[in-house]
Amino acid sequence: MSTDNRALTGRALVKNFGNVHALAGVDIDIPSGQALAIMGPSGSGKSTLLHCLSGILTPTSGEICLGGKNVSGLPDKSRSRLRLKHFGFVFQDGQLVPELPANENVALPLMLSDASRRTAISAADDWLRRLGLEDEANRRPGEMSGGQAQRVAIARALAASPAVVFADEPTGALDQATGHEVMQLLTTTCRMSGATLVVVTHDPQVAAWCERLVEIRDGRIHADSKTGGAR
Ligand SMILES: Nc1ncnc2c1ncn2[C@@H]1O[C@H](COP(=O)(O)OP(=O)(O)OP(=O)(O)O)[C@@H](O)[C@H]1O
Ligand SMILES: [Mg+2]
């Protein structure tokens, strides 16, 4: 299989919530390994697009293809398995399990994908070291700063070697300097592991870390440009 097989495509995506047209027909091709930023006003449909592309939501109509394979029609259980195996997620905050130390949080998706606890914890410790968090491995999320917790979330998103990492406002709860540090880590770790990155943000400087910017207005793509990317 060529790496091209991991590219993600949305075709004629429509998502209605009652009479709210959150997505009104979106066509998007995301090449494998690309870092893509999605921007747009509040309520324009950014999170809905991310949730449809990642299989968290089923579109009202339209198709999602991963590596050329239509995955939108899969039953819920197969879609969950697909998410676990091929996708990583970083959200604004509150995504770590508060009762678990950092390394167990990172190991969780690996254990859910059938790795033994020992293998999973060892891989998690490696990732935490790579992200400069070796001293935090045994700390719970409540005992870490916001920036440290987001780095743990990045480690968790990447630990299972996903094809695509989806991030929704990953720096939204951080001060600007910490946010940019987190964004730099997110883009460089994705690039190093060859993962495609789709990141929703309100911050143009966060978007500047990506090589492509898609702007959403009223559930449609309003602009789509190559940005050069700061990474
Ligand atoms: N579960 C839902 N039920 C009903 N309406 C929803 C639901 N999720 C989103 N919407 C509506 O769909 C539209 C798009 O919402 P979405 O969350 O995608 O916006 P967004 O661009 O991510 O906004 P923000 O920048 O504020 O996060 C909005 O009008 C929102 O109210
Ligand atoms: Mg949103």
Q: Is 9 exposed, middle or buried (0-12, 13-18, 19+ CB in 10 A)?
A: middle
Task: Using the atom order of ligand 1, give the atom closest to the CA of residue 202.
Answer: 25
Q: What pLDDT band is residue 227 in, cutting at 50, 70 and 90?
A: confident
CA angle 53, 54, 59 (to 5 degrees): 50
**Alpha-carbon distances, residue 193 vs 18, 101, 111, 163, 201 (angstroms):** 40, 24, 20, 9, 22
Instruction: Share the mean pLDDT of the chain.
Output: 92
pLDDT tens column, 12-66: 999 999 999 999 999 999 999 999 999 999 999 999 999 999 999 999 999 999 9
Predicted local distance difference test score (pLDDT) of residue 3: 44
* Single-letter residue type at 51: H
What's the pTM? 0.93
Q: What pLDDT band is residue 1 in, cutting at 50, 70 and 90?
A: very low
pLDDT tens column, 153-189: 999 999 989 999 999 999 988 998 888 888 999 999 9
- What's the gap in Å between 229 CA and the centre of ligand 2? 22
* Single-letter residue type at 151: R
- What's the gap in Å between 159 CA and the centre of ligand 1? 29
Predicted local distance difference test score (pLDDT) of residue 32: 94
- Determine contact, residues 115/109, Cβ cutoff 8 Å: no
pLDDT tens column, 38-50: 999 999 999 999 9
